[in-house]
């Protein structure tokens, strides 16, 4: 029973790591990537939808993103959502059929701001990992109080969870280092 609880933590931690990777892909690095706007929420026909569900996204060159909505009436809503997304800091150009986003080179100050936001996203992931560990340990301690597990089981669970956390922390640090390097490249 205790082993099952400990093993149930790994998929949750993996999901948290995947979420972090998605968040990091959405950070602007100075070159065009559709990941910047993939999950941008757009209000259309009274419902919020991710941009990737409403339009085809592509990068015709290293410095621009082209957004072609399947429904041309969505152009103003998409344009408004991009303008309101403060984290992007992009100015859309609408030609009536396609919205183009030119990705300007990042200034040194902007790079440092993005690295700071990267740090906060990484810290959120670490907190999530610790919360997962805490929840599993709480469940194991409940089993111990109910006399369904021993103190040794609790210590085993704690040791195994710490090993898992350490392994995931290494992966988080690798993601962070790679993204920081990518951001600081000129």
Q: Which pLDDT score is estimated for 135?
A: 93
**2-25+107-184 has which CATH code?**
1.10.132.20
Write down the pLDDT at residue 114: 82
What local confidence, expressed as pLDDT, does residue 183 receive?
78
Residue 99 is given by DSSP the state: E
Question: In the structure, what pLDDT confidence band is assigned to residue 4 with cuts at 50, 70 and 90?
Answer: confident
How many CA atoms within 13 Å lie on the side-chain side of 19?
14
3-class DSSP state for residue 88? Answer: coil
* pLDDT at residue 52 tops 90: no
Domains 2-25+107-184 and 34-102 share a fold: no
Structural domain spans, the chain: 2-25+107-184, 34-102
Q: For the chain, give the percent of residues with pLDDT over 70.
A: 96
C-alpha radius of gyration, the chain, whole number: 22
So what's the architecture of 34-102 in CATH?
Answer: 2-Layer Sandwich (3.30)
Which residues 6+ apart lie within 8 Å of 118 measured at CB? Answer: 24, 27, 176, 179, 180, 183
Q: 68-83 pLDDT, tens per residue?
A: 999 888 888 888 888 8
Q: How far apart are CA 140 and CA 137, in angstroms?
A: 5
Phi, psi of 185 (to 5 degrees): -70, 145
Give the strand pairing for 55-61 and 64-69: antiparallel
Tens-place pLDDT, residues 100-136: 988 877 778 878 888 888 889 999 999 999 999 999 9
Angle between the 108-145 and 2-25 helix axes, to the nearest 10 degrees?
Answer: 170
């Amino acid at each position: 029973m205790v082993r099952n609880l400990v093993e149930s933590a790994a998929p949750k931690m993996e999901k948290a790591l995947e979420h972090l990777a998605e968040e990091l892909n959405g950070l602007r690095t100075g070159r065009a990537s559709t990941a910047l706007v993939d999950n941008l929420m757009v209000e259309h026909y009274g419902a919020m939808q991710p941009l990737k569900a409403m339009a085809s996204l592509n990068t015709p060159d290293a410095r621009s993103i082209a957004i072609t909505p399947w429904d041309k009436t969505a152009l103003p809503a998409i344009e408004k959502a991009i303008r309101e997304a403060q984290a992007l800091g992009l100015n859309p150009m609408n030609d009536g059929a396609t919205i183009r986003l030119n990705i300007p080179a990042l200034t040194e100050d902007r790079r440092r701001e993005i690295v700071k936001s990267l740090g906060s996203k990484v810290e959120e992931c670490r907190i999530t990992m610790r919360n997962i560990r805490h929840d599993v340990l709480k469940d194991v301690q409940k089993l111990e109080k109910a006399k369904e597990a021993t103190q040794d089981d609790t210590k085993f669970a704690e040791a195994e969870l710490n090993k898992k956390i350490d392994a995931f922390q290494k992966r988080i640090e690798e993601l962070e280092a790679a993204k920081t390097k990518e951001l600081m490249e000129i």
